[in-house]
Amino acid sequence: MIARHFTRPARSAGVVLGVGDDCTLLAPTPGQQLAVSVDTSVAEVHFPGEAPASAIGHRALAVSLSDLAAMGAKPRWCLMALTLDHADDAWLAPFAQGFDELCARTGTDLVGGDVTRGALSVSVTVHGEVPPGEALTRHGAREGDLLAVTGTLGGGAGGLAAWQAGERSLDDPLLAAYLLPEPRLDAGQALRGLASAAIDVSDGLLADLQHLCDASGLGADLDIEALPLAKGLVERLGEGAQRAALSGGDDYELLIGLPPAALESARQALDALGVPLTVIGRFTAAPGIHGVEATGPGGWQHFSGVTS
Amino acid sequence: MIARHFTRPARSAGVVLGVGDDCTLLAPTPGQQLAVSVDTSVAEVHFPGEAPASAIGHRALAVSLSDLAAMGAKPRWCLMALTLDHADDAWLAPFAQGFDELCARTGTDLVGGDVTRGALSVSVTVHGEVPPGEALTRHGAREGDLLAVTGTLGGGAGGLAAWQAGERSLDDPLLAAYLLPEPRLDAGQALRGLASAAIDVSDGLLADLQHLCDASGLGADLDIEALPLAKGLVERLGEGAQRAALSGGDDYELLIGLPPAALESARQALDALGVPLTVIGRFTAAPGIHGVEATGPGGWQHFSGVTS
């Protein structure tokens, strides 16, 4: 049953020996570096177990591919470790379809897998390639670099709120942002040589910005009025919209450092891809993230102007 | 806490950028093929959740490395997706130690990971390298090739029986075989150019032999009197010892096809490594596995002389 749902012809010439032996054999492109990452999505922790199976398949791959996007790597291969509480065609077929459609669209070959019995979770290891020295990292930002973000923020948290409020239509833009995130692969590759640092927004803007600051040994001024809020977020969350954009997570946008001289080139490159880019602050020599306004008791004070 | 337990200096020059960014960056060895595989170990399915944490760490890596052994690949890198129902130092420290000791002994670098909350399971993706054309596969056996196996069989099933009977000492050879299997990495590499086909015995000898036969388009005569039984297996299981050796699984020995002319060279190569090699049959043009004796009602009849 598993083989029927997941066996696809390889899409790239790099697969020397496909699924069906003890290992898959791959031929990495000579001269390229290999970017690898693994992410596990657990039902009721990372996604609702009752979400459409196709969305679960899409999302499990998307969150791993998002790590390749943040490195500016081009996706090549993935392996899936799937743990299922029950297995039936009615669930596996759309799950595999959702996974495979994103594979096809991003040029990713599923080259290995393991299916076990247990609580529903999906762990996806992804492999991408990037020319030596061109990978985007977290540690390359410099003082004075602009801080910019692709797309919009808060959609992940807004979509989760929509789901919890009973919304089930994937036509709802927030729910789609949460369940069907689109990894910014083309944007990541287009930003090679332009962005000084990058991370994907998975934990939430503030947490991921802190990762960039820590890795680069810098702080940041953040203009929270400039945050590009997801469509429908204010209607869904009201005053909580800004909080969702700051710390909701699950947005899978790219948060980048950008030398001011590279802003125009970056805009043009992303415009050509139809990806919005918004400047939301800048990196500072002074540590800590400044400019975040306290929103109430227990709000953002500990992120506000505090040295790290 | 996780970083404290799992961060180790990289052991190989191939790690360009280690754990701590969105991806790890690796430099594959030019001219080598990459062998990749993933295996998930779920508590109470693949191992007892109450087993020593160090053994759980060792075993989760060992079962994945065993797939590299079966390809004749040299291990390089691994990624771990760990799902924990609870996390405390008292468990994580020995778990990481068991995992890391096997990494160190096999030259494997842990280059990525993800830790999530849920029912205890460990999914390990491994990467090895092998020169083009030299990988051992399942499909290379020829009619007349000898069928041989490294080490002994039945230890996995015998060790599980020992655990279920209350044995807890890892000095018990059967329990050690079950909880601390040793992937036959050196043997696999030594068999390059000698073995015509290979698989590791994870599902059980008969099931894995069937995989070899299916992939190679052959059948096999199996001399069940020749099976090398694990030490203590007859004492533990009595008349069930042979059954454990035939279908118990979890032995992680290499089952290989071997042209008769290569037998002496293979013996010498494995002798030098201290790894026993036992001829247990031969591949036949006639499909099906023959020579397995029925052991009682519902026994081995469906494997015995039946065409596949």
Q: What value does the mean pLDDT of chain A take?
A: 92
Checking if the pLDDT of B295 tops 70, the result is: no
pTM recorded for the entire structure: 0.91
Q: What percent of chain B has pLDDT over 70?
A: 93
Q: Is the domain of A164 the same as that of A61?
A: no
CB < 8 Å to B114, chain A:
38-40, 123
Chain-chain contact of A22 with B199 (C-beta, under 8 angstroms)? yes
The token pair that represents B96 in the structure block: 């990481």
Which among B95, B130, B165 is the end of a domain?
Answer: B130
Distance CA A215, CA A193 (A): 19
Map tokens 């410099």 to a residue. Answer: A142
CB-based contact B23 A33, cutoff 8 Å:
no
Q: Averaged over B139-149, what is the pLDDT?
A: 97
Let me know if residue B137 belongs to a domain: no
- Does any domain span residue B209? yes
Interface touch B123/A33, C-beta < 8 Å: no
Q: Do B40 and A114 touch (CB under 8 A)?
A: yes
Task: Read off the pLDDT of residues A150-194 as tens digits, 9 standing for 90 and up.
Answer: 999 999 999 999 999 999 999 999 999 999 999 999 999 999 999
Helices (H), B217-293: 233-237, 240-247, 263-272
The mean pLDDT value for A82-104 works out to 92
- Asked, for residue B100, whether it belongs to a domain, the answer is yes
Domain co-membership, A175 together with A278: yes
User: What pLDDT does B156 receive?
Assistant: 97
To the nearest whole percent, how much of chain A has pLDDT over 70? Answer: 93
Inter-chain CB pairs, A–B, below 8 Å: 184
What average pLDDT does this structure show over A102-122?
Answer: 93
Mean per-residue pLDDT over chain B, rounded: 92
Q: Which among B97, B130, B163 is the end of a domain? A: B130
CA A51: distance to chain centroid? 19
Residues A19 and A2: their CA atoms lie apart, in Å, by: 12
Q: Does a structural domain hold residue B308?
A: no
Question: At residue A297, does pLDDT exceed 50?
Answer: no
Rounded to two decimals, the ipTM of the complex is 0.90
B103 in the same domain as B156 = no
- What's the CATH number where B271 sits? 3.90.650.10
- Are A194 and A267 in the same domain? yes
Set of chain A residues whose Cβ sits within 8 Å of the Cβ of B45: 116-118
- Residue B126 pLDDT exceeds 90: yes
Regarding whether B277 and B156 lie in a shared domain, the answer is: yes
B128: left (phi over 0), alpha (psi -120 to 50) or beta: beta
pLDDT per position as a tens digit, A226-254: 999 999 999 999 999 999 999 999 999 99
Q: State how far the Cα of A58 lies from the Cα of A105, in Å rounded to an integer.
A: 11
Q: Kindly state the helix (H) or strand (E) to which residue A125 belongs, with its residue range.
A: strand A121-130
Report the distance separating Cα B248 and Cα B239, nearest Å.
Answer: 14
Banded model confidence at residue A301, pLDDT cuts 50, 70, 90 = very low
Per the domain annotation, does B136 fall within a domain?
Answer: no
Give φ, ψ of B14 to 5 degrees.
Answer: -75, -10
Give the residue from B207, B44, B211 showing the smallest Cα distance to A116.
B44
In a domain, B135, yes or no: no
Give how many domains chain A has, as a whole number.
2
**A46 contacts in B (CB within 8 Å)?**
116
Do B126 and B158 fall within a single domain?
no
- List the domain range (segments joined by +) for residue A27: 8-130
In this complex, do A38 and B132 lie within 8 Å of one another by their Cβ atoms? no
Q: Is residue B288 located within the same domain as residue B258?
A: yes
Residue A178: which residues within 8 A CB-CB, separation 6 or more?
A: A155, A156, A157, A158, A159, A160, A162, A163, A250
Does a structural domain hold residue A307? no
Q: Are residues A197 and A246 in the same domain?
A: yes
Residues in A touching B20 (Cβ below 8 Å): 138, 215
**Beta-carbon-side half-sphere exposure of residue A152 (alpha carbons within 13 Å):** 20
Residue B94: CATH number of its domain: 3.30.1330.10
Residue with tokens 């779920």: B42
Q: Confidence class of residue A303 from pLDDT cuts 50, 70 and 90?
A: very low
pLDDT digit string, tens, across residues A243-296? 999 999 999 999 999 999 999 999 999 999 999 999 999 999 999 999 865 455
CA distance A81 to chain B (A): 6
* Strand pairing class (A254-258; B24-26): unpaired
Is A119 in contact with B114 (Cβ distance < 8 A)?
no
Residues of chain B contacting A40 with CB distance shorter than 8 Å: 81, 83, 114, 116, 123
My answer on whether B283 and B251 are in the same domain is yes
Are A152 and A123 contained in the same domain?
no
Contacting residues for A124 by C-beta, under 8 A, at least 6 apart:
A38, A39, A40, A41, A60, A61, A63, A64, A78, A79, A80, A81
pLDDT at res. B147: 98
State whether B299 and B165 are in the same domain: yes
Instruction: Say if A98 falls within a structural domain.
Output: yes
Last residue of some domain: B130, B161, B190? B130
Residues A109 and A202 occupy one common structural domain: no
